[in-house]
Amino acid sequence: MEQNGVTALGYIPLFPLIGSVLAFIIGRSKRDAAGWIATLASAMAFAVVVALVMAMPEEAEYYYRAFTWFSVGGFTLDFAFRFDHLTAVMCLVVTGIGSLIHLYSVAYMAEDEGRHRFFAYLNLFMFSMLLLVLGANLLVLFVGWEGVGLCSYLLIGFWFKNLSYAGAGRKAFVVNRIGDAGFLFGMFMLYRQFDTLDFAELAQAISVNASPELLPLYFVVALCLFVGATGKSAQIPLFVWLPDAMAGPTPVSALIHAATMVTAGVYMMARLNFLFDLAPQAQAIVAIVAVFTAMVAALTALTQNDIKKVLAYSTVSQLGFMFMAAGAGVYWVAVFHLVTHAFFKACLFLGAGSVIHGCHHEQDMRHMGGLWSKMPITAATYGISTLAIAGIYPLSGYFSKHAILAALEGGHNPALEGLLELLVPMASVTAFLTAFYMTRSFAMTFLGSYRGHAHPHESPLRMTAPLIVLAGLALVGGLWLGGTLPHYLAPVLGSPAEHGHESIIEGLMHSWIGIAGIGVGLLCYTSLSQIPATIYRVIGPLSTLSLNKFYFDELYAAVVVKPLEAIARVLFRVVDQGMIDGAVNGTAAVVDVSGEVARSTQTGQVRHYAFFMFVAALLMLFLFVFAGRV
Amino acid sequence: MVPVTYYLTLSALMFTLGIVGVVIRRNAIVVFMCIELMLNAVNLSFVALSRLVGNLDGQIAVFFVMVVAAAEAAVGLAIIISLFRSAKSVETSDANQLNG
Amino acid sequence: MTALFFLVALVLLISAVGVVASRNAIHSALFLVGNLMSVAVMFAMLNAHFLAVVQVIVYAGAIMVLVLFVLMLLNIKLENQPALGKLVIGLAGLGGLAFLWMMVPLLQRSFAAIPQSAVDVQGSVREVGKLLYTQYVFPFEAASLLIMAAVVGAVMLAKRRYRA
């Protein structure tokens, strides 16, 4: 162990960074090498994380100071990493699932011209995400936070020749920036109050400063940080970017918009749990927003026909579930759902990618169906993940979702008093809807008869292997983690309340919501396919609302985008064209005229230059003799 | 014993003559010679002051000025030759490629 | 001694004026040789014997021969453009006078600031050589590099057809 701490921590983000550079440089001439370089870099980071987790003693944490970033006045900021149990879990998810997705991408992107760019971005994303989870202070976290935003922009707009795809990238970037502003404000206020951004020091300072007069500050800071989280983790009102983010290649959706980046907000809340615990009102707001987000996104997912859009809204909805747990103050459950969600949602997205790949870039589920026999592995893994997300015992989703509902129900946040009677049923209904729309997507894709015109085929092993691994994790991950995770995270997030083991019968009984959702879904979309049409006719306006994503985009267009465009036009005409261009052109004109004047001195005659030198020497001498001291 | 101020005054006169020559002459070789004049004026005051303060550092400086002057003579005259080759003249007023 | 000084100073100044004023470049060069010789005499009078010898050999000898050689080679005698206007010459002269006028108080002031030494230094070959090869050995080596670069540069520049 060195003076700066555990050097191995530095390697974790270093591998993807080097991989990114190498993938880009080498990939320019050897396109196929890029994918393997990136995969290797990511796998090496994973290996380092695993080794560290294995070697880490109980209740310990590692610290590594890479270098002193800057030092201003009395404030010194280190570029430092901290590796505790929470970070360990996040790192395992990021690098583990990230590696699988890299492997999958090698096959998925095999024919893309710009795949060296793709893999460079993908590794750069891993680097940023690892900075985010490893950062020992808020500013390093923020660097990662911005980095994932940037990579997300680059990857969503990866096929930038398609203008709407490029637009989706821009939208993601701008919406994320709005959240980032909130995050920055929160950070500024924390620094102003405590003169530090280091997590350990902040926790220390806050624990001794729980005096009532500081509580409003904590409330405001927590709220600001949550605004940042809504941007990154796609909660109301800043979730609009995530469904559009499906413009990127499917592995990107799996990695960024399901498994890792969107969980940054959840991670940040868990990391700053000491702050949120002191701001119960903010927690209540988080919980309320989360429940509504989950509900609205689930309702929207009901009517989407694009297979990736369904999954995107499902992600928003599941993130809502995570924030419910965080809002209830039971952070380990939020992290638990984060992990299980990463398993099954990555599997679902990669499965969707496999389907899209097999159907020759068809994304509309109305042109699919009956793929069960054509691509059995994809169908099986997709099916397992569907059961998992629906919350069927003993799959992973059951444990985490059940724990969330229990946490919400058992919450003792005074600010939520009276509201729980509304929120808990809403969350349960959302869980039912989740099972329903996922079954719908499974049925429309894999069951029935094929409605498209392509010749679907199973994907190669390099794509199915990650699917199988992820499906396996989705299958047993909950059972395994449900017992170990709360104790593992206890040093960071506090000890959870013990709850007894449940038998299989109880478990199956508790998964009645999911079973009901699946049952109704299967009924509607296989044997009684006229039911949905009838329902849509009956509740016509409501289904239109869902089909059009509750008009959030239109609402933003009217309330935010249009006025901004008007202001921008005015600014463009008056300020930009009039004042700024005027100033620029004026400057140019001044330079032009003075250049003309100065030009006349440039005669090209060496003698004239010598003369000017002589005059200058005389002037200097004059200054020396009469004005200065020698 | 001649006072050091005499030497310094002489050096100043010589330097001034060199400067005026650089400015008014148009023949590049003569300009070059006027620069030598200025260098020598400085050398003279170096040696005079070296005598005044009583150490040899000033004379060493003169030695190095001579080295530079020799290098300058070699390069400068080579430049003048190639100038003559391209402009068929060594008039500085004919070398006006820098005219903006 | 003083009489000798004034005599040499007179030669020095007249030859300097000759360098600047001659219309024929060869005359300028010959005047410069005279000027450099007078400077050498001045060096000798200041006990800088080594420099006096080097001045004669290197300056009046090598460098001036080189200059004269180039003058002969290029065969230029008179400045073939009309003489400069009186205005320019007058301006330059005025500038020179102003320069002198300011130089004198500057010199006087610096002079007063320098501590006078009783030691009468002898710039013999032995003394200068000792200093040159001990304290100033690195500048000396650097000077040899400079000369080297100058030689190469001069050959490159003067070669009839060179490629950049």
Mean pLDDT of the C89-94 span: 83
A195-199, A368-372, A508-512, A518-522 — which one is most confidently predicted on average?
Answer: A195-199
Residue A371's pLDDT is 83
pLDDT in tens, A101-132: 999 998 888 888 888 899 999 999 999 999 99
pLDDT at residue C78 is higher than 80: no
Residues of A in contact with C98 (CB under 8 A): 618
Mind telling me how many Å the CA of B97 is from chain A's nearest CA?
6
Residue A363 tokens, joined? 């994304």
C164 shares contact with chain B (CB less than 8 Å):
no
Residue A392 corresponds to which amino acid?
I
For chain B, which chains pass the contact test of at least 3 CB pairs under 8 Å? Answer: A, C
Residues of A within an 8 Å Cβ radius of B: 599, 602-607, 610-611, 614, 617
Interface test with B, best of C23, C39, C116 (most B CBs within 10 A): C39
Hey, what domains does chain B have and what are their CATH numbers?
A: 26-89 (1.10.287.3510)
Q: Is B80–C146 a contact, with Cβ atoms under 8 angstroms apart? A: no
The minimal CB distance from C131 to the residues B2, B56, B90 is found for B56
Mean pLDDT of the A25-39 span: 87
Report how far residue A355's alpha carbon sits from residue A351's, in angstroms, rounded to the nearest whole number: 6
* Cα B39 from chain centre: 4
Would you tell me the crossing angle of helices A331-358 and A461-493 to the nearest 10 degrees? 170
Q: Is B22–A610 a contact, with Cβ atoms under 8 angstroms apart? A: yes
Q: Is A610–B93 a contact, with Cβ atoms under 8 angstroms apart? A: no
C-alpha distances in angstroms, A267 versus A103, A142, A145, A262, A475? 25, 12, 11, 9, 24
C116 shares contact with chain B (CB less than 8 Å):
yes
When mean pLDDT is compared across A515-519, B2-6, C117-121, C122-126, the lowest value belongs to C117-121
Interface test with C, best of B6, B7, B15, B27 (most C CBs within 10 A): B27
The minimal CB distance from B17 to the residues C16, C74, C131 is found for C16
pLDDT at residue A413 is higher than 80: no
Residue C82 corresponds to which amino acid?
P
Mean pLDDT of the A391-400 span: 84
Residue C156's pLDDT is 86
When mean pLDDT is compared across A120-124, A229-233, A498-502, C60-64, the lowest value belongs to A498-502
Provide the terminal-to-terminal Cα distance of chain C, rounded to the nearest Å.
Answer: 56
With CA atoms as reference, the chain A residue closest to B95 would be A605
Mind telling me how many Å the CA of A622 is from chain C's nearest CA?
7
% pLDDT > 90, chain A:
16
Give the model's confidence band at A1: pLDDT under 50 very low, under 70 low, under 90 confident, else very high. Answer: very low
Residues of B in contact with C139 (CB under 8 A): 64
Residue A311 corresponds to which amino acid?
L
Residues of B in contact with A621 (CB under 8 A): none
The minimal CB distance from B99 to the residues A604, A610, A617 is found for A604
A622 shares contact with chain C (CB less than 8 Å):
yes
The minimal CB distance from A604 to the residues B28, B31, B97 is found for B97
Pairing of strands A62-72, A75-83: antiparallel
Q: Is the dihedral of CA A250, A255, A261, A267 positive or negative?
A: positive
Residues of A in contact with B12 (CB under 8 A): none
A551 shares contact with chain C (CB less than 8 Å):
no
With CA atoms as reference, the chain B residue closest to A613 would be B23
The minimal CB distance from C59 to the residues B30, B66, B89 is found for B66
For chain C, which chains pass the contact test of at least 3 CB pairs under 8 Å? Answer: A, B
Residue C155's pLDDT is 87
Residue whose structure tokens are 């002031």: C109
C:14-33 residues touching chain B, CB 8 A cutoff: 16-17, 19-20, 25, 28-29, 32
The number of C-beta contacts closer than 8 angstroms across A and C is: 23
Residue A46 tokens, joined? 């994973």
Report how far residue A262's alpha carbon sits from residue A345's, in angstroms, rounded to the nearest whole number: 12
Q: Is C102–A614 a contact, with Cβ atoms under 8 angstroms apart? A: no
When mean pLDDT is compared across B15-24, B50-59, B82-91, C22-31, the lowest value belongs to B82-91
A471, A549 contact by CB (below 8 A) = no
A357-371, A441-455, A555-569, B4-18 — which one is most confidently predicted on average?
Answer: B4-18
A612 shares contact with chain C (CB less than 8 Å):
no
Q: Is C95–A615 a contact, with Cβ atoms under 8 angstroms apart? A: yes
Report how far residue A232's alpha carbon sits from residue A242's, in angstroms, rounded to the nearest whole number: 9
Report how far residue A141's alpha carbon sits from residue A145's, in angstroms, rounded to the nearest whole number: 6
Mind telling me how many Å the CA of B96 is from chain A's nearest CA?
4
Report how far residue B96's alpha carbon sits from residue A608's, in angstroms, rounded to the nearest whole number: 11
For chain A, which chains pass the contact test of at least 3 CB pairs under 8 Å? Answer: B, C
pLDDT at residue A542 is higher than 70: no
B31, B21 contact by CB (below 8 A) = yes
C-alpha distances in angstroms, A408 versus A284, A419, A510, B82, C33? 11, 11, 16, 91, 105
Q: If you ran DSSP here, which 8-state letter would residue A529 be given? A: T
* Cα C153 from chain centre: 22
Tell me which of A275 and A496 has the higher pLDDT. A275
When mean pLDDT is compared across A313-317, A582-586, B38-42, B69-73, the lowest value belongs to A582-586
Interface test with A, best of C84, C88, C99, C107 (most A CBs within 10 A): C99
Residues of C in contact with A622 (CB under 8 A): 102
Average pLDDT, chain C: 84
Q: What is the 3-state secondary structure (H, E, C) of A192-207?
A: HHHCCCEHHHHHHHHH
Report how far residue C141's alpha carbon sits from residue C109's, in angstroms, rounded to the nearest whole number: 36
With CA atoms as reference, the chain A residue closest to B31 would be A607
Q: Which residues have C-beta within 8 Å of that of residue A315, sequence separation ≥ 6?
A: A234, A242, A257, A258, A262, A345
* Cα C44 from chain centre: 15
C-alpha distances in angstroms, A176 versus A147, A180, A183, A506? 11, 6, 10, 42
pLDDT at residue A286 is higher than 50: yes
B89 shares contact with chain A (CB less than 8 Å):
no
Mean pLDDT of the A540-545 span: 63
With CA atoms as reference, the chain A residue closest to C91 would be A611
Residue A476 corresponds to which amino acid?
V
C157 shares contact with chain B (CB less than 8 Å):
yes
Residues of C in contact with B59 (CB under 8 A): 48, 50-51, 123, 128
With CA atoms as reference, the chain A residue closest to B18 would be A614
pLDDT at residue A363 is higher than 70: yes
B78, B63 contact by CB (below 8 A) = no
Q: Is C123–B50 a contact, with Cβ atoms under 8 angstroms apart? A: yes
B22 shares contact with chain A (CB less than 8 Å):
yes
C-alpha angle A400-A401-A405 in degrees, rounded to nearest 5: 120
Q: Is C67–B18 a contact, with Cβ atoms under 8 angstroms apart? A: no
Q: Is B97–A603 a contact, with Cβ atoms under 8 angstroms apart? A: no
C-alpha angle B37-B43-B46 in degrees, rounded to nearest 5: 150
Interface test with A, best of C102, C106, C109 (most A CBs within 10 A): C102
By CB atoms closer than 10 A (0-12, 13-18, 19+), residue C139 is middle
pLDDT at residue A43 is higher than 60: yes
**Residue A64, SS3 per DSSP:** strand
Average pLDDT, chain A: 83
Give the model's confidence band at C15: pLDDT under 50 very low, under 70 low, under 90 confident, else very high. Answer: very high
Task: Give the DSSP per-residue string, C40-54.
Answer: HHHHHHTT-HHHHHH
Mean pLDDT of the A331-346 span: 90
